[in-house]
Structure 1
Protein backbone atom coordinates (compact mmCIF):
# COMPACT_ATOMS: atom_id res chain seq x y z
CA UNK A 1 0.00 0.00 0.00
CA UNK A 2 1.24 3.43 -0.96
CA UNK A 3 0.24 6.54 0.92
CA UNK A 4 -1.83 7.64 -2.08
CA UNK A 5 -3.92 4.46 -1.73
CA UNK A 6 -4.88 5.41 1.80
CA UNK A 7 -5.78 8.89 0.53
CA UNK A 8 -7.97 7.34 -2.17
CA UNK A 9 -9.88 5.32 0.43
CA UNK A 10 -10.26 8.38 2.65
CA UNK A 11 -11.47 10.64 -0.21
CA UNK A 12 -13.90 8.02 -1.57
CA UNK A 13 -15.46 7.75 1.86
CA UNK A 14 -15.91 11.51 2.21
CA UNK A 15 -17.22 12.07 -1.35
CA UNK A 16 -19.24 8.84 -1.76
CA UNK A 17 -18.68 9.31 -5.52
CA UNK A 18 -15.86 8.06 -7.72
CA UNK A 19 -15.95 11.00 -10.13
CA UNK A 20 -15.84 13.61 -7.38
CA UNK A 21 -13.12 11.73 -5.53
CA UNK A 22 -11.03 11.53 -8.71
CA UNK A 23 -11.40 15.26 -9.30
CA UNK A 24 -10.40 16.05 -5.70
CA UNK A 25 -7.31 13.87 -6.04
CA UNK A 26 -6.41 15.28 -9.49
CA UNK A 27 -6.78 11.82 -11.05
CA UNK A 28 -8.78 10.56 -13.98
CA UNK A 29 -11.77 8.39 -13.11
CA UNK A 30 -10.32 5.30 -14.88
CA UNK A 31 -7.02 5.74 -12.99
CA UNK A 32 -8.82 5.92 -9.64
CA UNK A 33 -11.01 2.92 -10.50
CA UNK A 34 -7.93 0.92 -11.51
CA UNK A 35 -6.17 1.82 -8.27
CA UNK A 36 -9.24 0.87 -6.22
CA UNK A 37 -9.31 -2.56 -7.86
CA UNK A 38 -5.61 -2.95 -7.04
CA UNK A 39 -6.32 -2.17 -3.37
CA UNK A 40 -9.17 -4.67 -3.27
CA UNK A 41 -6.94 -7.36 -4.79
CA UNK A 42 -4.19 -6.62 -2.29
CA UNK A 43 -6.51 -7.11 0.69
CA UNK A 44 -8.64 -9.72 -1.08
CA UNK A 45 -11.86 -7.95 -0.07
CA UNK A 46 -14.57 -5.83 -1.65
CA UNK A 47 -14.22 -2.27 -0.35
CA UNK A 48 -17.22 -0.56 -1.97
CA UNK A 49 -20.46 -1.45 -3.71
CA UNK A 50 -21.18 0.69 -6.79
CA UNK A 51 -24.64 1.86 -7.90
CA UNK A 52 -26.22 4.66 -9.91
CA UNK A 53 -26.63 6.58 -6.64
CA UNK A 54 -22.89 6.43 -5.84
CA UNK A 55 -20.88 4.04 -3.72
CA UNK A 56 -21.48 2.36 -0.39
CA UNK A 57 -18.65 1.02 1.77
CA UNK A 58 -18.64 -2.56 2.93
CA UNK A 59 -17.77 -3.38 6.58
CA UNK A 60 -14.26 -4.25 5.38
CA UNK A 61 -14.10 -0.96 3.53
CA UNK A 62 -15.18 1.00 6.59
CA UNK A 63 -12.45 -0.72 8.59
CA UNK A 64 -9.87 0.39 6.01
CA UNK A 65 -11.26 3.95 6.14
CA UNK A 66 -10.53 3.99 9.88
CA UNK A 67 -7.03 2.61 9.29
CA UNK A 68 -6.44 5.12 6.49
CA UNK A 69 -6.94 7.94 8.96
CA UNK A 70 -4.46 6.34 11.40
CA UNK A 71 -1.85 5.68 8.69
CA UNK A 72 -2.04 9.18 7.22
CA UNK A 73 -1.87 10.78 10.68
CA UNK A 74 1.21 8.69 11.42
CA UNK A 75 2.77 9.66 8.10
CA UNK A 76 2.18 13.35 8.76
CA UNK A 77 3.70 12.94 12.21
CA UNK A 78 6.81 11.33 10.74
CA UNK A 79 7.15 14.11 8.15
CA UNK A 80 6.84 16.73 10.88
CA UNK A 81 9.50 14.97 12.97
CA UNK A 82 11.88 14.81 10.02
CA UNK A 83 11.33 18.51 9.38
CA UNK A 84 11.99 19.19 13.06
CA UNK A 85 15.27 17.29 12.89
CA UNK A 86 16.40 19.41 9.97
CA UNK A 87 15.34 22.69 11.55
CA UNK A 88 16.51 21.98 15.09
CA UNK A 89 19.82 20.26 14.27
CA UNK A 90 18.62 17.03 15.82
CA UNK A 91 19.20 13.35 15.11
CA UNK A 92 21.73 10.70 16.09
CA UNK A 93 25.47 10.96 15.43
CA UNK A 94 27.16 7.60 14.88
CA UNK A 95 30.74 7.81 16.12
CA UNK A 96 33.54 5.25 16.28
CA UNK A 97 36.68 5.75 18.36
CA UNK A 98 39.62 3.92 19.85
CA UNK A 99 39.48 2.95 23.52
CA UNK A 100 41.92 5.68 24.53
CA UNK A 101 40.04 8.44 22.73
CA UNK A 102 36.67 7.25 23.99
CA UNK A 103 37.93 7.47 27.54
CA UNK A 104 40.02 10.66 27.45
CA UNK A 105 38.89 12.83 24.54
CA UNK A 106 35.29 12.13 23.52
CA UNK A 107 33.52 12.85 26.84
CA UNK A 108 34.64 16.47 27.01
CA UNK A 109 34.31 16.96 23.25
CA UNK A 110 30.70 15.71 23.21
CA UNK A 111 29.87 17.66 26.35
CA UNK A 112 30.85 20.96 24.71
CA UNK A 113 29.09 20.03 21.45
CA UNK A 114 25.91 19.06 23.29
CA UNK A 115 25.83 22.44 24.99
CA UNK A 116 25.48 24.01 21.54
CA UNK A 117 23.14 21.39 20.06
CA UNK A 118 21.16 19.76 22.89
CA UNK A 119 18.71 17.93 20.59
CA UNK A 120 21.41 15.71 19.06
CA UNK A 121 21.82 12.15 20.36
CA UNK A 122 24.89 9.90 20.10
CA UNK A 123 25.80 6.32 19.33
CA UNK A 124 29.46 5.65 20.22
CA UNK A 125 31.25 2.46 19.21
CA UNK A 126 34.58 1.77 20.92
CA UNK A 127 37.03 -0.41 19.01
CA UNK A 128 40.61 -0.58 17.72
CA UNK A 129 41.81 2.22 15.45
CA UNK A 130 42.18 -0.16 12.49
CA UNK A 131 38.50 -1.13 12.81
CA UNK A 132 37.42 2.50 12.75
CA UNK A 133 38.83 2.83 9.22
CA UNK A 134 36.75 -0.15 8.10
CA UNK A 135 33.61 1.19 9.76
CA UNK A 136 34.03 4.54 8.00
CA UNK A 137 34.66 2.88 4.63
CA UNK A 138 31.54 0.72 4.95
CA UNK A 139 29.47 3.68 6.23
CA UNK A 140 28.66 1.93 9.51
CA UNK A 141 29.58 5.14 11.34
CA UNK A 142 29.57 8.78 10.28
CA UNK A 143 32.67 10.07 12.09
CA UNK A 144 35.68 8.22 13.46
CA UNK A 145 38.56 9.08 15.79
CA UNK A 146 41.80 7.10 15.71
CA UNK A 147 45.31 7.24 17.12
CA UNK A 148 46.86 5.62 14.05
CA UNK A 149 46.69 6.46 10.35
CA UNK A 150 46.15 3.15 8.57
CA UNK A 151 45.59 4.96 5.26
CA UNK A 152 42.84 4.60 2.70
CA UNK A 153 40.45 7.10 4.23
CA UNK A 154 38.98 9.60 1.76
CA UNK A 155 38.52 12.32 4.35
CA UNK A 156 40.83 12.61 7.35
CA UNK A 157 42.16 15.42 9.46
CA UNK A 158 45.04 15.44 11.94
CA UNK A 159 43.59 17.01 15.07
CA UNK A 160 46.62 17.12 17.36
CA UNK A 161 49.76 15.31 18.50
CA UNK A 162 50.80 14.53 22.05
CA UNK A 163 54.26 13.42 23.20
CA UNK A 164 54.87 9.94 24.56
CA UNK A 165 56.77 9.54 27.82
CA UNK A 166 58.37 6.65 29.63
CA UNK A 167 56.70 6.88 33.03
CA UNK A 168 57.77 5.34 36.34
CA UNK A 169 56.86 6.18 39.91
CA UNK A 170 60.50 6.29 40.98
CA UNK A 171 63.16 8.53 39.56
CA UNK A 172 65.05 6.89 36.66
CA UNK A 173 67.20 7.51 33.61
CA UNK A 174 66.60 6.18 30.08
CA UNK A 175 69.65 3.93 30.34
CA UNK A 176 68.09 2.25 33.41
CA UNK A 177 65.07 0.92 31.51
CA UNK A 178 66.45 -2.55 30.54
CA UNK A 179 66.90 -3.38 34.23
CA UNK A 180 63.49 -2.10 35.37
CA UNK A 181 60.14 -3.97 35.30
CA UNK A 182 58.01 -3.01 32.30
CA UNK A 183 54.22 -3.13 31.98
CA UNK A 184 52.83 -4.00 28.56
CA UNK A 185 49.31 -3.18 27.36
CA UNK A 186 47.27 -4.12 24.28
CA UNK A 187 47.58 -1.49 21.57
CA UNK A 188 47.20 -1.07 17.83
CA UNK A 189 49.88 -2.86 15.83
CA UNK A 190 51.35 0.27 14.20
CA UNK A 191 51.71 2.10 17.51
CA UNK A 192 53.39 -0.92 19.10
CA UNK A 193 55.73 -1.16 16.11
CA UNK A 194 56.72 2.48 16.58
CA UNK A 195 57.60 1.92 20.24
CA UNK A 196 59.44 -1.34 19.49
CA UNK A 197 61.49 0.49 16.89
CA UNK A 198 62.46 3.13 19.46
CA UNK A 199 63.56 0.40 21.86
CA UNK A 200 65.75 -1.34 19.27
CA UNK A 201 67.39 1.97 18.41
CA UNK A 202 68.37 2.51 22.04
CA UNK A 203 68.99 -0.96 23.54
CA UNK A 204 70.42 -4.29 22.49
CA UNK A 205 68.59 -6.35 25.11
CA UNK A 206 64.78 -6.76 25.28
CA UNK A 207 62.72 -5.10 28.03
CA UNK A 208 61.98 -7.02 31.23
CA UNK A 209 58.20 -7.33 30.94
CA UNK A 210 56.78 -8.12 34.35
CA UNK A 211 53.10 -7.61 33.62
CA UNK A 212 50.59 -7.64 30.74
CA UNK A 213 47.33 -5.67 31.03
CA UNK A 214 44.40 -5.30 28.68
CA UNK A 215 44.35 -1.56 28.09
CA UNK A 216 46.06 1.78 28.55
CA UNK A 217 44.01 2.85 31.56
CA UNK A 218 44.90 -0.29 33.50
CA UNK A 219 48.53 0.19 32.58
CA UNK A 220 48.51 3.75 33.90
CA UNK A 221 47.10 2.59 37.23
CA UNK A 222 49.78 -0.08 37.59
CA UNK A 223 52.49 2.49 36.85
CA UNK A 224 51.08 4.93 39.39
CA UNK A 225 51.22 2.22 42.04
CA UNK A 226 54.89 1.56 41.33
CA UNK A 227 54.56 -1.84 39.69
CA UNK A 228 56.63 -0.94 36.66
CA UNK A 229 57.23 1.62 33.92
CA UNK A 230 55.44 2.03 30.59
CA UNK A 231 55.30 4.35 27.56
CA UNK A 232 52.26 6.58 28.08
CA UNK A 233 50.82 9.53 26.14
CA UNK A 234 50.91 12.97 27.75
CA UNK A 235 47.14 13.33 28.18
CA UNK A 236 46.77 10.25 30.34
CA UNK A 237 49.27 11.43 32.98
CA UNK A 238 48.73 15.18 32.94
CA UNK A 239 47.06 15.19 36.37
CA UNK A 240 49.74 13.10 38.11
CA UNK A 241 52.65 15.04 39.58
CA UNK A 242 54.00 12.22 41.74
CA UNK A 243 55.43 10.17 38.85
CA UNK A 244 58.65 10.62 36.92
CA UNK A 245 58.60 10.82 33.14
CA UNK A 246 61.12 11.10 30.30
CA UNK A 247 60.05 12.11 26.81
CA UNK A 248 60.79 9.66 24.00
CA UNK A 249 62.70 10.96 20.98
CA UNK A 250 63.97 9.38 17.78
CA UNK A 251 67.70 9.35 16.87
CA UNK A 252 67.36 12.80 15.24
CA UNK A 253 66.04 14.29 18.48
CA UNK A 254 62.45 14.61 17.21
CA UNK A 255 59.78 13.79 19.81
CA UNK A 256 57.84 10.56 19.31
CA UNK A 257 54.16 11.45 19.38
CA UNK A 258 50.76 9.87 19.42
CA UNK A 259 48.58 11.44 16.73
CA UNK A 260 44.80 11.80 16.82
CA UNK A 261 42.90 11.77 13.53
CA UNK A 262 39.29 12.47 12.64
CA UNK A 263 37.84 10.44 9.78
CA UNK A 264 34.55 11.01 8.00
CA UNK A 265 32.84 10.01 4.78
CA UNK A 266 30.64 11.66 2.19
CA UNK A 267 27.62 11.58 4.51
CA UNK A 268 28.88 14.94 5.76
CA UNK A 269 27.48 16.43 2.55
CA UNK A 270 24.06 14.85 3.02
CA UNK A 271 23.40 15.07 6.76
CA UNK A 272 23.42 18.52 8.38
CA UNK A 273 24.23 17.24 11.88
CA UNK A 274 27.32 15.40 10.60
CA UNK A 275 28.57 18.56 8.92
CA UNK A 276 27.88 20.52 12.12
CA UNK A 277 29.93 18.07 14.15
CA UNK A 278 32.84 17.85 11.69
CA UNK A 279 33.05 21.65 11.48
CA UNK A 280 32.86 21.88 15.27
CA UNK A 281 35.71 19.39 15.76
CA UNK A 282 37.86 21.27 13.24
CA UNK A 283 37.62 24.40 15.43
CA UNK A 284 37.85 22.66 18.80
CA UNK A 285 40.88 23.58 20.93
CA UNK A 286 42.15 20.17 21.99
CA UNK A 287 45.32 21.42 23.62
CA UNK A 288 43.29 23.40 26.15
CA UNK A 289 42.33 20.11 27.80
CA UNK A 290 45.65 18.32 27.46
Structure 2
Protein backbone atom coordinates (compact mmCIF):
# COMPACT_ATOMS: atom_id res chain seq x y z
CA UNK A 1 0.00 0.00 0.00
CA UNK A 2 1.15 3.54 -0.65
CA UNK A 3 0.02 6.88 0.78
CA UNK A 4 -2.74 7.30 -1.82
CA UNK A 5 -4.25 3.96 -0.77
CA UNK A 6 -4.55 5.13 2.83
CA UNK A 7 -6.21 8.36 1.67
CA UNK A 8 -8.60 6.31 -0.44
CA UNK A 9 -9.55 4.15 2.56
CA UNK A 10 -10.04 7.23 4.71
CA UNK A 11 -12.42 8.83 2.18
CA UNK A 12 -14.20 5.54 1.51
CA UNK A 13 -14.73 5.12 5.23
CA UNK A 14 -16.30 8.59 5.33
CA UNK A 15 -18.70 8.15 2.40
CA UNK A 16 -19.26 4.36 2.33
CA UNK A 17 -19.90 4.84 -1.38
CA UNK A 18 -17.72 4.04 -4.41
CA UNK A 19 -19.15 6.77 -6.64
CA UNK A 20 -18.80 9.58 -4.08
CA UNK A 21 -15.31 8.43 -3.11
CA UNK A 22 -14.16 8.39 -6.72
CA UNK A 23 -15.57 11.88 -7.27
CA UNK A 24 -13.88 13.18 -4.14
CA UNK A 25 -10.51 11.75 -5.20
CA UNK A 26 -10.91 12.71 -8.89
CA UNK A 27 -10.40 9.16 -10.12
CA UNK A 28 -12.62 6.80 -12.08
CA UNK A 29 -14.76 4.19 -10.37
CA UNK A 30 -13.03 1.32 -12.20
CA UNK A 31 -9.63 2.64 -11.05
CA UNK A 32 -10.86 2.81 -7.46
CA UNK A 33 -12.36 -0.67 -7.60
CA UNK A 34 -9.16 -2.04 -9.12
CA UNK A 35 -7.09 -0.47 -6.36
CA UNK A 36 -9.34 -2.08 -3.72
CA UNK A 37 -8.78 -5.46 -5.37
CA UNK A 38 -5.01 -4.91 -5.25
CA UNK A 39 -5.18 -4.12 -1.54
CA UNK A 40 -7.28 -7.22 -0.92
CA UNK A 41 -4.73 -9.27 -2.88
CA UNK A 42 -1.87 -7.77 -0.86
CA UNK A 43 -3.48 -8.70 2.47
CA UNK A 44 -5.11 -11.87 1.27
CA UNK A 45 -8.58 -10.98 2.52
CA UNK A 46 -11.76 -9.15 1.56
CA UNK A 47 -11.92 -5.62 2.94
CA UNK A 48 -15.23 -4.39 1.50
CA UNK A 49 -18.55 -5.91 0.45
CA UNK A 50 -21.01 -4.15 -1.81
CA UNK A 51 -24.66 -3.78 -0.84
CA UNK A 52 -27.77 -2.04 -2.06
CA UNK A 53 -27.00 1.06 0.03
CA UNK A 54 -23.30 1.31 -0.78
CA UNK A 55 -20.35 -0.60 0.63
CA UNK A 56 -19.57 -2.04 4.03
CA UNK A 57 -16.19 -2.82 5.48
CA UNK A 58 -15.35 -6.31 6.64
CA UNK A 59 -13.68 -6.53 10.09
CA UNK A 60 -10.32 -6.54 8.32
CA UNK A 61 -11.38 -3.54 6.24
CA UNK A 62 -12.54 -1.66 9.31
CA UNK A 63 -9.16 -2.25 10.91
CA UNK A 64 -7.37 -0.83 7.87
CA UNK A 65 -9.75 2.14 7.60
CA UNK A 66 -9.34 3.03 11.27
CA UNK A 67 -5.58 3.02 10.89
CA UNK A 68 -5.73 5.23 7.79
CA UNK A 69 -6.07 8.35 9.96
CA UNK A 70 -2.95 7.36 11.93
CA UNK A 71 -0.89 6.68 8.81
CA UNK A 72 -1.94 9.96 7.14
CA UNK A 73 -1.25 11.93 10.32
CA UNK A 74 2.20 10.35 10.65
CA UNK A 75 2.94 11.10 6.99
CA UNK A 76 2.05 14.78 7.51
CA UNK A 77 4.20 14.93 10.64
CA UNK A 78 7.22 13.42 8.89
CA UNK A 79 6.79 15.68 5.86
CA UNK A 80 6.58 18.78 8.06
CA UNK A 81 9.74 17.82 9.96
CA UNK A 82 11.68 17.12 6.75
CA UNK A 83 10.66 20.48 5.26
CA UNK A 84 11.53 22.15 8.56
CA UNK A 85 15.11 20.87 8.42
CA UNK A 86 16.08 23.26 5.64
CA UNK A 87 15.16 26.25 7.85
CA UNK A 88 12.94 27.75 5.14
CA UNK A 89 9.49 29.05 6.06
CA UNK A 90 7.53 26.82 3.72
CA UNK A 91 4.95 24.06 3.83
CA UNK A 92 1.31 23.84 4.85
CA UNK A 93 -0.11 25.60 7.89
CA UNK A 94 -3.24 23.96 9.32
CA UNK A 95 -5.54 26.51 10.95
CA UNK A 96 -8.88 26.06 12.69
CA UNK A 97 -10.85 29.26 13.21
CA UNK A 98 -14.17 30.25 14.68
CA UNK A 99 -16.77 31.30 12.13
CA UNK A 100 -16.80 34.93 13.27
CA UNK A 101 -13.01 35.31 13.38
CA UNK A 102 -12.80 33.69 9.94
CA UNK A 103 -15.21 36.16 8.41
CA UNK A 104 -14.10 39.39 10.08
CA UNK A 105 -10.38 39.01 10.83
CA UNK A 106 -8.67 35.99 9.29
CA UNK A 107 -8.59 37.14 5.62
CA UNK A 108 -6.65 40.29 6.49
CA UNK A 109 -4.23 38.27 8.64
CA UNK A 110 -3.55 35.69 5.92
CA UNK A 111 -3.24 38.29 3.16
CA UNK A 112 -0.49 40.20 4.96
CA UNK A 113 1.27 37.07 6.17
CA UNK A 114 1.36 35.55 2.68
CA UNK A 115 2.97 38.69 1.29
CA UNK A 116 5.88 38.06 3.66
CA UNK A 117 5.94 34.26 3.30
CA UNK A 118 4.57 33.45 -0.18
CA UNK A 119 5.62 29.79 -0.08
CA UNK A 120 3.25 28.82 2.72
CA UNK A 121 -0.01 27.08 1.91
CA UNK A 122 -3.04 27.00 4.19
CA UNK A 123 -5.64 24.43 5.20
CA UNK A 124 -8.49 26.24 6.94
CA UNK A 125 -11.20 24.58 9.03
CA UNK A 126 -14.04 26.68 10.45
CA UNK A 127 -16.76 26.10 13.01
CA UNK A 128 -17.96 26.96 16.48
CA UNK A 129 -15.26 27.67 19.04
CA UNK A 130 -15.92 24.45 20.98
CA UNK A 131 -15.21 22.48 17.79
CA UNK A 132 -12.06 24.52 17.10
CA UNK A 133 -10.86 23.82 20.62
CA UNK A 134 -11.34 20.09 20.08
CA UNK A 135 -9.27 20.19 16.88
CA UNK A 136 -6.34 21.96 18.53
CA UNK A 137 -6.67 19.74 21.62
CA UNK A 138 -6.38 16.64 19.40
CA UNK A 139 -3.39 18.16 17.53
CA UNK A 140 -5.26 17.99 14.23
CA UNK A 141 -4.30 21.60 13.45
CA UNK A 142 -1.33 23.83 14.24
CA UNK A 143 -3.25 26.96 15.24
CA UNK A 144 -6.70 27.49 16.72
CA UNK A 145 -8.52 30.83 16.86
CA UNK A 146 -11.25 30.58 19.48
CA UNK A 147 -13.80 32.99 20.89
CA UNK A 148 -13.87 32.76 24.68
CA UNK A 149 -11.24 31.24 26.96
CA UNK A 150 -11.45 27.45 27.10
CA UNK A 151 -9.43 25.22 29.42
CA UNK A 152 -6.30 25.17 27.27
CA UNK A 153 -3.16 24.34 29.24
CA UNK A 154 -0.58 24.88 26.50
CA UNK A 155 0.50 28.07 24.70
CA UNK A 156 -2.03 30.83 23.99
CA UNK A 157 -2.18 34.55 23.23
CA UNK A 158 -5.04 36.96 23.89
CA UNK A 159 -5.56 38.78 20.58
CA UNK A 160 -8.29 41.30 21.41
CA UNK A 161 -11.39 41.96 23.49
CA UNK A 162 -14.77 43.36 22.58
CA UNK A 163 -17.99 44.19 24.38
CA UNK A 164 -21.34 42.42 24.10
CA UNK A 165 -24.22 44.70 23.25
CA UNK A 166 -27.93 44.78 22.59
CA UNK A 167 -28.59 45.96 19.05
CA UNK A 168 -31.94 46.99 17.57
CA UNK A 169 -33.28 48.85 14.54
CA UNK A 170 -35.73 50.63 16.84
CA UNK A 171 -34.86 52.77 19.85
CA UNK A 172 -35.16 50.90 23.15
CA UNK A 173 -34.39 50.97 26.85
CA UNK A 174 -32.89 47.96 28.57
CA UNK A 175 -35.78 47.69 31.04
CA UNK A 176 -38.18 47.14 28.13
CA UNK A 177 -36.30 44.15 26.67
CA UNK A 178 -38.47 41.42 28.28
CA UNK A 179 -41.49 42.58 26.22
CA UNK A 180 -39.60 43.23 22.98
CA UNK A 181 -39.08 40.57 20.27
CA UNK A 182 -35.65 38.96 20.40
CA UNK A 183 -33.67 37.18 17.69
CA UNK A 184 -31.68 34.28 19.13
CA UNK A 185 -28.91 32.35 17.38
CA UNK A 186 -26.76 29.25 17.71
CA UNK A 187 -23.39 30.04 19.23
CA UNK A 188 -20.65 28.50 21.35
CA UNK A 189 -21.40 27.54 24.93
CA UNK A 190 -19.25 30.24 26.58
CA UNK A 191 -21.08 33.09 24.84
CA UNK A 192 -24.45 31.51 25.54
CA UNK A 193 -23.60 31.19 29.23
CA UNK A 194 -22.46 34.83 29.39
CA UNK A 195 -25.68 36.10 27.78
CA UNK A 196 -27.93 33.82 29.86
CA UNK A 197 -26.22 34.82 33.10
CA UNK A 198 -26.57 38.50 32.24
CA UNK A 199 -30.27 38.05 31.53
CA UNK A 200 -30.96 36.15 34.78
CA UNK A 201 -29.08 38.76 36.81
CA UNK A 202 -30.96 41.64 35.12
CA UNK A 203 -34.54 40.48 34.55
CA UNK A 204 -37.13 38.38 36.38
CA UNK A 205 -38.87 36.93 33.33
CA UNK A 206 -37.63 35.04 30.25
CA UNK A 207 -36.86 36.84 26.99
CA UNK A 208 -39.54 37.06 24.30
CA UNK A 209 -37.74 35.03 21.62
CA UNK A 210 -39.60 35.45 18.35
CA UNK A 211 -36.97 34.03 16.01
CA UNK A 212 -34.13 31.52 16.23
CA UNK A 213 -31.42 31.27 13.55
CA UNK A 214 -28.30 29.15 13.21
CA UNK A 215 -25.67 31.86 12.66
CA UNK A 216 -24.82 35.13 14.36
CA UNK A 217 -24.51 36.96 11.01
CA UNK A 218 -28.05 35.94 10.11
CA UNK A 219 -29.23 37.27 13.47
CA UNK A 220 -27.45 40.55 12.69
CA UNK A 221 -29.21 40.76 9.32
CA UNK A 222 -32.59 40.14 10.98
CA UNK A 223 -31.89 42.95 13.43
CA UNK A 224 -30.93 45.29 10.61
CA UNK A 225 -34.25 44.40 8.95
CA UNK A 226 -36.14 45.46 12.08
CA UNK A 227 -37.33 41.99 13.09
CA UNK A 228 -36.21 42.29 16.69
CA UNK A 229 -33.19 42.91 18.90
CA UNK A 230 -30.26 40.59 19.53
CA UNK A 231 -27.34 40.41 21.97
CA UNK A 232 -24.29 40.51 19.71
CA UNK A 233 -20.50 40.81 19.90
CA UNK A 234 -19.60 44.38 19.03
CA UNK A 235 -17.05 43.32 16.40
CA UNK A 236 -19.70 42.21 13.92
CA UNK A 237 -21.45 45.58 14.23
CA UNK A 238 -18.44 47.67 13.21
CA UNK A 239 -19.38 50.02 10.40
CA UNK A 240 -23.13 49.63 10.91
CA UNK A 241 -24.45 53.03 11.98
CA UNK A 242 -28.22 52.69 11.59
CA UNK A 243 -28.71 50.58 14.72
CA UNK A 244 -29.35 51.48 18.34
CA UNK A 245 -26.81 49.78 20.63
CA UNK A 246 -26.24 49.41 24.35
CA UNK A 247 -23.44 47.46 26.04
CA UNK A 248 -24.53 44.86 28.56
CA UNK A 249 -22.86 44.95 31.97
CA UNK A 250 -22.30 42.69 34.96
CA UNK A 251 -23.61 43.22 38.50
CA UNK A 252 -20.80 45.75 39.11
CA UNK A 253 -21.73 47.82 36.07
CA UNK A 254 -18.67 46.71 34.09
CA UNK A 255 -19.02 45.79 30.40
CA UNK A 256 -19.23 42.07 29.71
CA UNK A 257 -16.25 41.23 27.53
CA UNK A 258 -15.84 38.74 24.70
CA UNK A 259 -12.24 37.55 24.19
CA UNK A 260 -10.54 36.08 21.13
CA UNK A 261 -7.52 33.81 21.64
CA UNK A 262 -4.90 32.07 19.56
CA UNK A 263 -4.15 28.55 20.81
CA UNK A 264 -1.16 26.41 19.80
CA UNK A 265 1.26 23.95 21.37
CA UNK A 266 4.81 24.67 22.47
CA UNK A 267 5.89 21.61 20.49
CA UNK A 268 4.46 23.02 17.25
CA UNK A 269 6.71 26.09 17.56
CA UNK A 270 9.58 23.85 16.49
CA UNK A 271 8.11 24.12 12.98
CA UNK A 272 9.32 27.22 11.16
CA UNK A 273 5.91 27.84 9.61
CA UNK A 274 4.11 27.81 12.95
CA UNK A 275 6.73 29.92 14.70
CA UNK A 276 6.66 32.54 11.96
CA UNK A 277 2.86 32.69 11.95
CA UNK A 278 2.55 32.94 15.73
CA UNK A 279 5.09 35.76 15.87
CA UNK A 280 3.30 37.56 13.03
CA UNK A 281 -0.14 37.31 14.66
CA UNK A 282 1.24 38.52 18.00
CA UNK A 283 2.28 41.77 16.29
CA UNK A 284 -0.82 42.13 14.13
CA UNK A 285 -2.88 45.24 14.87
CA UNK A 286 -6.45 43.97 15.09
CA UNK A 287 -7.79 47.39 16.05
CA UNK A 288 -6.35 48.96 12.92
CA UNK A 289 -7.77 46.14 10.83
CA UNK A 290 -11.37 46.26 12.05
CA UNK A 291 -13.99 44.92 9.69
Normalised by the size of structure 2, how large is the TM-score?
0.69
CA contact (8 A) 1:249 1:256 kept: yes
CA offset digits 1:50-85 (Å, max 9, x no partner)? xxxxxxxxxxxxxxxxxxxxxxxxxxxxx9xx6699
User: Which residue matches 1:115?
Assistant: 115
Q: How many residues were matched structurally?
A: 210
Q: How does 1:1-290 map onto structure 2 within 5 Å?
A: 86=86, 88-290=88-290
CA offset digits 1:234-282 (Å, max 9, x no partner)? 1111111011100111111111111000000134332101000001111
Equivalent-residue separation in structure 2 for 1:84 and 1:136 (angstroms): 20
Equivalent-residue separation in structure 1 for 2:153 and 2:209 (angstroms): 35
User: Which residue matches 2:17?
Assistant: none
Equivalent-residue separation in structure 2 for 1:163 and 1:86 (angstroms): 44
Name stretches of at least 5 consecutive residues in structure 2 with no aligned partner: 1-78
Equivalent position SS for 1:113: helix
User: Which residue matches 1:46?
Assistant: none
Equivalent position SS for 2:287: helix
User: Which residue matches 1:39?
Assistant: none
Equivalent-residue separation in structure 2 for 1:138 and 1:126 (angstroms): 15
What is the Cα-based RMSD across aligned positions, in Å? 1.7
* Residues 86 and 104 of structure 1, relative CA distance in 2, 3 Å threshold: farther
CA contact (8 A) 2:84 2:272 kept: no
CA offset digits 1:160-184 (Å, max 9, x no partner)? 1011110000111111111111000
Cα offset, 1:153, TM superposition: 3.1
Equivalent position SS for 1:289: coil
Equivalent-residue separation in structure 1 for 2:252 and 2:83 (angstroms): 57
* Residues 160 and 185 of structure 1, relative CA distance in 2, 3 Å threshold: same
Equivalent position SS for 1:274: helix
CA contact (8 A) 1:137 1:153 kept: no
CA contact (8 A) 1:86 1:272 kept: no
CA offset digits 1:74-122 (Å, max 9, x no partner)? xxxxx9xx66994542211100011111111111111111121111111
